[in-house]
Each structure stands twice: as structure tokens, then as C-alpha cells.
Amino acid sequence: MKTKNVRELALDILLQIEKNQAYSNLLLNQKVNEANLNRKDIGLLTEIVYGTIQRKNTLDFYLEPFIKKQKKIETWVIVLLRLSCYQMVFLDRVPSHAVINEAVEIAKKQSHKGISGMVNGVLRNLQRNDLRNLDEVTNQEERLAIELSHPTWLIKRWLNQFGEEVTREMCQVNLKPPQVTVRVNQMKANVDEMLTILSEEGLEVERGDLSEDAIKVITGNVPNTKSFQDGFITIQDESSMLVSRALGPRPSEIVLDSCAAPGGKSTHIAEMMEGSGNVVSIDLHDHKVKLIGKAAERLKLENIETKAIDSRKLHEIYEKETFDRILIDAPCSGFGVIRRKPDIKWAKKEQDINNLASIQRKIIDAVAPLLKKGGTLVYSTCTLDKEENENIVEAFLNNSNEFTLDDTLMERMPEKLSDIVKNNKGMIQLLPHYFQTDGFFIACLKKK
């Protein structure tokens, strides 16, 4: 069977995301492995897939004048036009005539001559004419949604919660490729040692900006390194590393990670406990729990115990006041990780936030009684919406006389965050444009 080229693969991936709401990162990894692409083609495929998803609103705005007279257009044709438009408008290194020729050839393979002629006509019109001006859109929210390529309902929400300047900054960061960072397993090496070792393995690396465990990877493939395979490092965003720091686990303690998959924070906690004590890592789905086990095995961590169970039912198997510390990294809308999973912003609906907030409230209410008196509970999410973050914590505190915000949180956080937490000592909302990390919310509570 003839091997597909990069743009055909991109079309396949984007179509599956469009039709089946497949996850872009998982699907891209699967296709890359199946196609056995070289490094250059992997880079181009990743750029086209992520760029086309990220800029979908803007691309549709540019294409709309040239396709509005067409009768019903099949989804694959729209997706082909989008990925071609993305290359013509946003990529300097690909000549427009090459993009158009490639798109026409793909259209010929997929359908009849009429469709390939239409694709050719639309893209040549795009090439010959100036790009459509955003000033045509008079409504501010709609104009921002097109310019910054985010759903209008999400733009409205963020404008209400953060104002235009911050909304614009967050959206602009969401359109950029994410930084790759790794966490050093400090049971095996320190950051300075790993900077040297990773450089010797051919990676270009530098010290992280926020977390004391972090190394930024400028170039190089982390999973292929011996350091990764031997458990010296774990791929994790710096903001995510701060969550385990906020929890502050100590050797020999019993710690619950109640929504743990795929295990990045569980393994970090286990490393901070120097392999002693017990980290109970819970997740709802058995296949996700297996990922935690694999991560623990790679890192040679024997103090992690995994279970597949709904966190809201943990009271059925654990006595009250069993754990010294509890982490609730709650299921959330994920709007802090749009750079890594751009399909999130198109797949989620506003009602999802309300539904998730209901689940989050039930989890914190169910898990909190399992904490010992004097213990620490951290509630975190990788999203930005107040309804899933501050509102959840404040509602919980209003209904509980046993818990208070932990004003020692800052002692465990990097100095660079001091301005962010100065007005709210037990809670941090890390927005993605502050340090070019994922967006994260962290609240630290103490049980009296």
C-alpha cells in the first residue's frame, strides 16, 4: 500500500478530530509511529495539525468569502482548505504554489475532478487577494474570537472574569507551541548533574524558570534518551510540578492522590518522600490506572499503590482521618493546557463547566473527611475558570468549620510567584502568559 505524505496524514488526523472528537496529541503520536516519519516530516505534520486546529476560527474567516457561493461542501474538503490556508498564511517556508498543487492532488485522489477544481479555485483566489480585514466584524467579542481563534462563548467568559488585556494575552499564548520541560528524579540525580548528562545525550537544555526540579528542553527527543528510559527524568510542565510542592509530602507519610492518572504528580510525591511511606493513587478508569503503574515502574518507585475507583466512593474502603495529606487534582475543562491540546477549546461547551463543577464539589466533599486532623489538602486543576477553581474552594470552606486556607503555601512556592499570591495566601491562579507554562490553579487547605 502506498505511503501517505505529510499533508494526507494531516488531513486524516484533522478529519478524525473534527468527526469523532479524537484527542489531537494521542492521535498525532499514533500516526507518527505508524507512518515511521523522519524528524523533519514529524515537525511539519505537527505544525500543520496543531496550527490548523489552533487557528480554525481565523482560517474559516479568511476562507468564507471564497466558498460562500458553493453548495453543500463535504467536511473533508473544508478541512483540506483549512490546512492549506494555514500553510499559505502562517508558514513562511512553504511556497503557496506548492501548497495549492498538493491540495489539488489530494482532492483528486479523494474525489472527482469537480472537487479538485473547486479546491484549486478557492486557494488561488486566496493567493491572489488580500486577506479579509477583521474590522468588518463590529461586535468586539466576535472580533476577538476570530482574531485570537477561540470560541465566542469562551471569550465572553474570560472577558467577564479577566478583562480584555489578560484575555488577549492568554489567547495569544495559547496559539504558540508549548515548552517541553522535564522533572528530575532527585532520588537519582540533581538538576546540575542532569543538565550535563542530557547535553551529553544530544539534547539542548537549560534550567527551568519556576520549579526547582525542572529542566527546559530546547531541542531533542526526550523519550528516546537513556535518562528517560532509566527513570532519571519525567516529562511534566513546570506549573504541574508546583502542585506536589504545594502539598509538601514528607518521608514515611500516607498520602492520597485521589484523581491521579496518568501519574505525574503521584510519582513526584513518591520521589519527594524518598521512596518511603505510601502514596495511594486513585483514578476512575482501569486503563488510566495502568499508566500510573507504568510510570512508577520506569522510575523504580515502590511506594505507590494504585486503585481504580470513583473518588466519591473512597469512604467505602477508607476510614475517616486515614491520610496525612490529600491531593485532589480534579477533572476539569482543561483550558490551561490549550497549547498542548488545542482541540479542547472547540470540543468543550459552556455547560461542561457547570457539569464539571458539580463533580468537583462532590469529590472534595467526599474526600476531605479522609484527611487526618492537622493534615494538608491541595485542590488543583489545569483550568482557568473561577467556577471550577475559587468558587469550588470557597463553597467548600463556607460549608466546613474544619478547614482553612493554608497561609504557609508561599513558603513552598518559588519567589517569582509572590506577587500572584500576595492577596490570597492559600490560592494561586497561574495564568499561561505569566511564565509561558500551562495554566494551573492551586489551593492549599489545612484541617484543624
444 among known catalytic residues: no
Three-class SS state of 307: strand
Query: Cell triple for residue 137?
Result: 466584524
Q: Output the CA–CA distances (angstroms, integers) from residue 42 to 51, 81, 90, in the order listed.
A: 14, 21, 18
Alpha carbons within 13 angstroms on the beta-carbon side of residue 177 total 14
Q: Is 35 one of the annotated binding-site residues? A: no
Question: In degrees, to the nearest 5, what angle opens at C-alpha 149 toward C-alphas 143 and 150?
Answer: 95
Is the distance from CB of 193 to CB of 355 less than 8 angstroms?
no
Q: Is 202 one of the annotated binding-site residues? A: no
Query: Cell triple for residue 113?
Result: 475532478
Q: Is 263 one of the annotated binding-site residues? A: yes
Instruction: Considering the candidates 85, 171, 332, 382, report the single residue annotated as catalytic.
Output: 382
Q: Is 329 one of the annotated binding-site residues? A: yes
How many CB atoms within 10 Å of residue 99? 21
Q: Is 262 one of the annotated binding-site residues? A: yes
Is the distance from CB of 277 to CB of 251 less than 8 angstroms?
yes
DSSP secondary-structure letter at 70?
S
Q: Name the helix (H) or strand (E) containing 171.
A: helix 152-174
Cell 482541540 belongs to 343
Q: Is 259 one of the annotated binding-site residues? A: yes
3-state SS of 266-293 is HHHHHHHCCCCCEEEEEECCHHHHHHHH
User: What is the rounded radius of gyration, in angstroms, for the C-alpha atoms of the chain?
Assistant: 24
Q: Is 265 one of the annotated binding-site residues? A: yes
Q: Is 261 one of the annotated binding-site residues? A: yes
Sequence-ordered list of residues with C-beta below 8 angstroms from that of 65, at least 6 positions apart, any chain: 132
**Phi and psi angles of residue 217, each rounded to the nearest 5 degrees, phi first:** -105, 115
Q: Which residues are annotated as a binding site for S-adenosyl-L-methionine?
A: 259-265, 283, 310, 329
- What positions carry a catalytic annotation? 382
Which residue positions form the known binding site? 259-265, 283, 310, 329
